[in-house]
Amino acid sequence: MTESKMAGQKEGGISLQARRALAYVVLILVTLICLFWFYVLFINATRSNSELKRGFSALPSTFILENLNNMIHGTQPVLYGMLNSFIIALSSAALSTYFSAMTAYAIHAYDFRFRRFMFTFILMIMMIPTQITALGFLQLIGNMGLDDSFIPLIVPSVATPAVFFYMKQYMDSTLPLSLVEAARIDGAGEFRTFNQIVMPLMKPALAVQAIFSFVFSWNNYFVPALVLHTDTKKTLPILIAQLRSADWLKFDMGQVYAMIAFSIFPVIVVYLVLSKSIVGGVTLGGVKG
């Protein structure tokens, strides 16, 4: 950063001071627009149904535990939903990071005939979303007898081109091939080199991508809603959708807010703890050049 040119330039238009003030005002405004909804959500999750019916209040009340308790013992299998979401998201995150690193390593460390082709090919399919082939996907898992099972929601994470791309870039910048050579000279097998030498070096990249994969899977609604049918197998987003399609006016609104909070706040907490590496990871995965 060039620190030297602070000198109050009185440029043609607005002074530096005024521009800075404007920037802060806009940033604070944007911050409020981003956070307002979560503030209202928090307040409302702590209020009872009758308090909510009376109108909006800016101060929290004391009914949060009661609302959570009612929600857990309500008609929706929320705890199952949380557990199912957690199992699927955690397995997907583990598979997508491990196997994407493995795929990236194959292309990074070995010089085989279709190397260039594979790299180009994976880049080409990177942007293609799962929704547009969902039809064939559903038919396939129907034929495989995997309908209403977690497997079709977990196993496809093995081939995640975006995570692969991130890992490949990370290897390009941090994994010297001389290290792999050294491991070979020491007599380590190729699998062992990958698992015990390459993977530990990839930890920062693995962590960032594990979080992204977890969150993506945690929030995923379209495909799980078409695959899972049994109530106790459903994930949180599906339960939220059921809440919406139920006659919601008859609901205890305290419970409704508690359930939304229950789906949103865990991710916010994790994000705030790890925000530094997450925000940094966005750019690394996206564009280069």
Side chain identity, residue 250 = K
- 30-43 as b/e: b if 16+ CB within 10 A: eeeeeeeeeeebeb
Q: How far is the CB of 85 from other proteins (least distance, A)?
A: 9
Among 37, 62, 232, 269, binds other proteins (CB under 8 A): 37
Does position 69 interact with other proteins (CB under 8 A)? The reply is: no
d(CA 154, CA 141): 13
In eight-state DSSP terms, residue 149 is: S
Backbone φ, ψ for residue 189 (5° rounding) = -70, 165
User: Other CB atoms closer than 10 Å to residue 175's CB: what's the count?
Assistant: 20
Does position 86 interact with other proteins (CB under 8 A)? The reply is: no
Residues in contact with other proteins, total (CB under 8 A)?
Answer: 105
Residue carrying the six token digits 């975006």: 162
Does position 39 interact with other proteins (CB under 8 A)? The reply is: no
Q: How far is the CB of 62 from other proteins (least distance, A)?
A: 18
d(CA 44, CA 257): 6
Tally the C-alpha atoms within 13 A of residue 227's C-alpha that lie toward its C-beta. 27
Q: How far is the CB of 272 from other proteins (least distance, A)?
A: 7
Among 118, 197, 199, 201, binds other proteins (CB under 8 A): 118
Of residues 190-249, which lie at the interface with other proteins (CB under 8 A)? 190, 194, 215, 218-219, 221-222, 226, 236-237, 240-241, 243-245, 248
Q: How far is the CB of 171 from other proteins (least distance, A)?
A: 13
Does position 273 interact with other proteins (CB under 8 A)? The reply is: no
Is the Cβ of residue 73 or residue 115 nearer to other proteins in the bound state?
Answer: 115
In eight-state DSSP terms, residue 145 is: T
